[in-house]
Every structure is written in C-alpha cells, then in structure tokens.
C-alpha cells in the first residue's frame, strides 16, 4: 500500500511509550505514522520522565494477567535487542533482590511483587534462584536472583528515533494544549484518522483528557561513573518509608544509585541530604562500587514517574474528532512494559480503524 492510502496516525508523546508504540505501528506497514512531542530524546525536563529512568527490567507485577503480559512480551523483545542490536543500549545484567524483615511484615504495597519468594516470572527468567540465608548479607530474610536487562535511556531513546526514521516516521517537536489539536499534526499536512496519546504524567493536564487518576511518583537518583557487578534492589530502608535502595549499571557507562518513590511530590530539585542517604545505602549493599576508587559523581537526578490509580490506561476512545488510543500511566514500569503496552496499542488501533 502506498503511504497516501494508509490510515494516518499521530502519536502524541516521544517518551519510551510513544516511541515504542510508533515503532510497532510502523513495523506493521499498515499505517502512515508521525510522532510529535513537546520534548524529544536529547531534551531534559521534569515534564519528560523517560530520560531520568534507571532503567531495568525488574517486574513488580502481582496477580495481574494484563500487566504480566506487558512485562513478558517486553522481556522477550529486549533479550532479542540485547543480542542482535548492541547499539540500542540494552545489556544483560544479573538482578539481586533482598527483602528486609520489616518489609515482609509491613507488606508495603509500593514494593509489590518484590516480596514474592517465587514471583510470576520465576520460570521465565534464566538462572532464577531463591537465595539461602548464607548467600545474603545480614538483616535480610528473603532474596532472589535472575538474569535480566538494563537500558541506558540516553542511548536507547535516540536509537528508537533512528529506527523510526528508517521506517519513514517523522519525529517533530510540537506542543498541543488539547488532545483534539493532535489530529492536525500529521506530517503529511492531512488530518489524522487516529491519535495515540502517550503524554505520560502530563495526561493529567492535557485538555480533553485531564486524567485526575494520574499523579507523580517522584524518584531521586545519583549517577556515578563507577561500576557495579550486578543490579541490586532492596525493599525499603530504615531512613524513610518512601525511600528505596537500588543500583543499576548501564551499558556504555554510568551507574544509577537510587532512590525513592514519593507520591504526589512534584519537586524537581534534588535533596542533598537524600543523596547522601542513597549513597550510603548503596555502598553498604555493594562496597564493590568503590573498588576502583572513590565514588565519582556525574549528576544528581530527579524524575517523576507517571503513576496512575488503578494502573496504566491502555484503551481506545471514540471522540468527535476521531479515535484516540491511550497509552500512559506506566508508573515505574514504562521501560519494562514498553513492548507489551505497545503491542496492546497496535491491537486497539486495528480494532478502532476496522470499525
């Protein structure tokens, strides 16, 4: 089919959700796709979450088949990319998760599936193993390890753009104040048949959407030049109820030390005291970080996870201007669920345009 005959789709949003949705739509060869976003890969802004992510695959889904499917599909695809496309900035890395006794008792809902000794993905992830007490540092009551993957968002997001450009998809900086305006932003100059809404956290402020279930889950991290032998994650910490401890060594440099999950907190400024606590906790769990010398700090980061009461919104909506397929609200799982959510978008687009 020539591109003039293909249905025209505008993807609104150029974070990991928008770029992955656009890529999977373009790969079908059925649609003429354009991407627009206020911020694009290369930009750094508190309204744009994707560049601030760790980011790894470490599913915390519990008893939810839809979310499990998102994470399962994504795991398979990133395993393929890590093998066949090293230039994408994804590499294999072992995960080690420890559970503190206090968290087992509190059952902190923010920590979800981390508390499962045998989570849903145990049979899917190679080298999954429950740790014995002898294999864990003192103070932890449960632990698991398995093979997973780490993204470098600063490499991966531009790589997604390069894939889109090679499929003939245009990616342009545009801002809209209402979802209906997006229909007028197809690169062909003609009105779009359908808009895919991937506006992340800003879905709570976008005219025509204004989703009041969406809220920020603030995350603060420290990016260092040092390297860690594995990715670590600890349930909670004794410093504060909304602080966490995690370590992710990225492909092509840099290790992310985290972190926190602060609900409804929009503050974009790093807290220097929290940064000290993060560093202390990460060194306690992984002293090897300093094996080649003192911690070498590159930057202090703050990002806002696009969280949503009831989970992400992936659904189609018929509006006066045409069909909208929503894909936002992934919270702290936007990378690890990205291919699964985008696969669901492709299904919904097919249904919407067939009707």
Ligand X SMILES: Cc1cc2nc3c(=O)[nH]c(=O)nc-3n(C[C@H](O)[C@H](O)[C@H](O)COP(=O)(O)OP(=O)(O)OC[C@H]3O[C@@H](n4cnc5c(N)ncnc54)[C@H](O)[C@@H]3O)c2cc1C
Q: Which residues bind ligand X (CB under 6 A)?
A: 12-18, 37-39, 48-50, 52-56, 175-176, 198-202, 206, 219, 221, 259, 303, 305-306, 328, 330-336
The CA R_g of the chain, rounded to the nearest whole Å, is 20
Residue 313 Cβ vs ligand X, minimum distance, rounded to whole Å: 11
Of 202 and 228, nearer to ligand X (C-beta) is: 202
- Please measure the distance between the N-terminal and C-terminal CA atoms of the chain and give it in whole angstroms: 20
Dihedral angle, C-alpha 117, 120, 126, 130, nearest 10 °: 10
| H-only helix segments in 47-152 | 65-84, 101-106
DSSP structure string for 24-40: HHHHTTS-EEEEEESS-
**Are the C-beta atoms of 326 and 306 separated by less than 8 Å?**
no
Of 38 and 300, nearer to ligand X (C-beta) is: 38
Residue 293 Cβ vs ligand X, minimum distance, rounded to whole Å: 25
Residue 277 Cβ vs ligand X, minimum distance, rounded to whole Å: 15
Residue 53 Cβ vs ligand X, minimum distance, rounded to whole Å: 3
**Are the C-beta atoms of 283 and 186 separated by less than 8 Å?**
no
Of 17 and 348, nearer to ligand X (C-beta) is: 17
Of 141 and 242, nearer to ligand X (C-beta) is: 242
Residue 5 Cβ vs ligand X, minimum distance, rounded to whole Å: 28
Of 105 and 306, nearer to ligand X (C-beta) is: 306
Of 34 and 355, nearer to ligand X (C-beta) is: 34
- Nearest CA-CA partner of 33 in 43, 23, 47: 23
Spatial separation of the C-alpha atoms in residues 13 and 202, rounded to whole Å: 10
Residue 62 Cβ vs ligand X, minimum distance, rounded to whole Å: 16
Of 101 and 268, nearer to ligand X (C-beta) is: 268
Residues facing residue 216 across a β-bridge:
306
Residue 246 Cβ vs ligand X, minimum distance, rounded to whole Å: 8
Query: CA–CA distance from 86 to each of 82, 91, 256 (Å)?
Result: 5, 7, 20
- Nearest CA-CA partner of 55 in 152, 147, 161: 152
Q: What are phi and psi of 299, to 5 degrees?
A: -165, 150
């Amino acid at each position: 089919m020539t591109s003039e005959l293909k249905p025209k789709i505008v993807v609104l949003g150029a974070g990991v959700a928008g770029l992955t949705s656009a890529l999977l739509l373009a790969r079908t060869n059925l649609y003429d796709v354009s991407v627009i976003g206020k911020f694009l890969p290369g930009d750094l802004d508190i309204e744009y979450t994707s560049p601030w992510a760790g980011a790894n695959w470490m599913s915390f889904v519990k008893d939810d088949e839809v979310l499990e499917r998102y994470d399962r599909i994504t795991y398979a695809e990133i395993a393929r990319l890590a093998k066949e496309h090293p230039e994408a900035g994804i590499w294999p890395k072992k995960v080690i998760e420890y559970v503190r006794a206090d968290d087992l008792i509190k059952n902190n809902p923010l920590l979800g599936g981390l508390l499962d000794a045998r989570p849903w993905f145990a049979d899917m992830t190679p080298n999954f193993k429950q740790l014995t007490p002898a294999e864990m540092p003192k103070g932890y009551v449960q632990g698991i390890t398995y093979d997973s993957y780490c993204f470098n968002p600063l490499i991966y997001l531009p790589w997604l753009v390069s894939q889109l450009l090679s499929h003939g998809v245009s990616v342009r900086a545009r801002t809209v104040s209402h979802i209906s305006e997006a229909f007028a932003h197809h690169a062909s100059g003609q009105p779009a048949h359908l808009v895919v809404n991937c506006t992340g956290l800003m879905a709570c402020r976008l005219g025509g959407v204004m989703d009041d279930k969406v809220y920020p889950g603030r995350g603060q991290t420290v990016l260092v030049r040092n390297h860690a032998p594995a990715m670590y994650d600890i349930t909670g910490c004794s410093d504060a109820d909304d602080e966490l401890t995690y370590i992710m060594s990225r492909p092509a440099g840099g290790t992310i030390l985290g972190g926190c999950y602060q609900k409804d907190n929009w503050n974009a400024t790093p807290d220097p005291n929290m940064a000290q606590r993060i560093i202390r906790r990460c060194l306690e769990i992984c002293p090897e970080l300093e094996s080649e010398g003192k911690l070498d700090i590159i930057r202090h980061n703050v990002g806002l996870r696009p969280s949503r009461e009831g989970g992400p919104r992936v659904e189609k909506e018929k509006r006066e201007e045409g069909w909208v397929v929503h894909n936002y609200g992934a919270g702290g799982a936007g990378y690890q669920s990205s291919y699964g959510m985008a696969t669901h978008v492709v299904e919904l687009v097919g249904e919407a345009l067939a009707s």
